[in-house]
Amino acid sequence: MIKVVIVDDEPKLRNGLQTLIPWESLGFTVTAAATNGKEALSVIEEVTPDVVIVDIRMPIMDGLQMIQHLTAAGRRLHFIILSGYADFEYAKQAIKYGVAGYMVKPVDIREMSASLQRVREQIEKERHQAELSQTGGVNREAHLHSLLVPQAKIEDPDKWRSKAKDADLLWSGYEVVIISLRISDAERFNALNQLSAGLKPIIEGRNKGIVTVFPPYTVLLLNEPLRGKQRREELYNELRSASGGLRFIAATGGVVSVPEEICSSYLNAQKAVKQAFFSEKDQLLGPNSPALLSSTESLWMIEDNPERLEEFIFKLYYSLDIGNKAMILPLLKEAAGYFLSRGQEEKTVKESFFFLSNAVVHKLTAGSRMVWKETGAVSRFLNGIFQQEYLEDLVEEMNRFLLAFAEDSESGGKEQEFKIMIDFINRHYSDNLRLETLAGLLNYSAAYLGQLFKNKTGEYFNTYLDKVRIQKAKEFLSQGMKVYEVAERVGYANVNYFHGKFKKYEGRSPSDYKNL
């Protein structure tokens, strides 16, 4: 864990930072707190933290004086400074001491967490460099690290090649592959080193390149391009084997030909990792990795329509309500395409699906005329949306949940109504039954009830009614009743019309059936 000391004269802010920031999940632990700079000097001497979060304005000794004192004493610490808007000019003086972050009060939790994440990555890099120095491997890997960082100004190419030669990195081509572990921040650094150790025999032992840790990634620099699908799949399987069961995302940044372009391959790989949510899973990603949805599926949805989300909610609800299960997955993919066409990022797409799911569940619950008791299952599903690592999995899980939810929610209301409707037809088949009449009785539209009926029985309403009437007619004919009497008894005023219907469904006339 990375140790942190908080220095601020406001008890509310000190306590708030200690309780509201998810320190452990970010890989940090708060070891102490102080009320001013002078008190902090003693605390820092005692607990030796890695990071100090300090307010600029404090009594006795302010934050700037404290930073000056520690820097002059040669203490290598990472500072995140806090200040009010009015203190900006004053705070700028602290920046020259190389502070790691600058936060304006009141502190935003998300911004602070992001700043801490950046600090953690820097500390992990420094620790890794120290480990390399102790093992004698610093020259080669340190040089690789410098090649991964974009340069403000490209040096003389000959100088780059000279450095590469000294580090035994003067190759005919280069391809960067990065591996990002799906693991908590607190566990990541050790896991990256373990993965690196597992990959070295596979990569370095076979003279395929070198392996290093460059937080938050394990990085491979390959000396031969990953030509063809088979080679990429082989490498992905090797990564899977070395990961020891840990979930990961791996991406290549493509081939470059000179050392000074290695950083471009690295940056391309980073971009691919950040877009992993929208890509196919269980494969080595790259600059041209296929997205989950093809462009042809979303071209027609590019226009920004504020009513589009409501339309998806209605279509999903309507399809689930009438039992048209086959429509749900295509509708969810259509919604995903729409969100992507609007340029939504991973977090926003998940929020959109959360809203969509919640609205559909609410409508289904209200429409079933029952009290849904499994609220815990709904909460787990909705919260689980934000844990999904791939859009493909999110869509599949949402499809599964909505189908199951709709099936459960209809058992008390709509299913009972459908049974009532079938029983009504069986008892009143001889009457002048019309779909519109039943729809009115059940407070549905005729179009809606017709589709519901078709999905439940596999037959249109009039066809189902005809088959019930013909079945009853066969019973009456077997009892010896005359054809015209049977026609009237089952609801056909016209004997010829009855004759045609009977022959259509039975393949023979009523008279032939009677004489069997």
Q: What pTM did the predictor assign?
A: 0.58
In terms of pLDDT, which residue wins out, 175 or 454?
Answer: 175
Mean pLDDT of 436-447: 74
Angle at the Cα of 270 from the Cα atoms of 265 and 272, rounded to 5 degrees: 95
Percent of the chain with pLDDT over 70: 83
Alpha-carbon distance of 400 to 456, in angstroms, equals 20
Burial class, 367, CB count within 10 angstroms (exposed 0-12 / middle 13-18 / buried 19+): middle
Q: Say if CB 270 and CB 254 are below 8 A apart.
A: no
- Residue among 26, 260, 5, 219 at smallest CA distance from 125: 219
**Beta partners for residue 248, in sequence order:** 181
What is the structure's pLDDT at 306?
A: 52
Average model confidence (pLDDT) for the chain? Answer: 82
In terms of pLDDT, which residue wins out, 323 or 320?
Answer: 320
Residues 157-179, buried b or exposed e (16+ Cβ, 10 A)?
eeebeebbeebebeeeebbbbbb
Q: Options 3.30.470.20, 1.10.3720.10, 3.30.365.10, 3.40.50.2300; which CATH number does 2-121 get?
A: 3.40.50.2300
What is the structure's pLDDT at 85?
A: 62
- Phi (first) and psi of residue 193, to 5 degrees: -65, -40
Identify the band that residue 251 occupies on the pLDDT scale cut at 50, 70 and 90: very high
What is the structure's pLDDT at 302?
A: 34
Q: For residue 484, what are its two tokens? A: 């015209």
| pLDDT at 24 > cutoff 80 | yes
Identify the band that residue 303 occupies on the pLDDT scale cut at 50, 70 and 90: very low
The pairing of beta strand 51-55 with beta strand 78-83: parallel
Identify the band that residue 234 occupies on the pLDDT scale cut at 50, 70 and 90: very high
| pLDDT at 7 > cutoff 80 | yes
- CATH superfamily, domain 414-514, is Homeodomain-like (1.10.10.60)
What is the structure's pLDDT at 431?
A: 84
In terms of pLDDT, which residue wins out, 495 or 127?
Answer: 495
Q: Which amino acid, one-letter code, is at 54?
A: V
Residues in contact with 107: Cβ distance below 8 Å, sequence separation at least 6, in sequence order: 13, 16, 17, 82
Burial class, 432, CB count within 10 angstroms (exposed 0-12 / middle 13-18 / buried 19+): exposed
Strand order of the β-sheet with 2-7 is 28-34, 2-7, 51-55, 78-83, 101-104
Alpha-carbon distance of 84 to 5, in angstroms, equals 20
In terms of pLDDT, which residue wins out, 352 or 424?
Answer: 352
| Phi/psi-derived region of residue 323, left when phi > 0, alpha when psi is between -120 and 50, beta in every other case | left
Domain definitions of the chain by residue range: 2-121, 138-278, 296-409, 414-514
Mean pLDDT of 368-383: 66
| pLDDT at 383 > cutoff 50 | yes
Q: For residue 364, what are its two tokens? A: 């289904």
Fold of the domain spanning 138-278: Alpha-Beta Plaits (3.30.70)
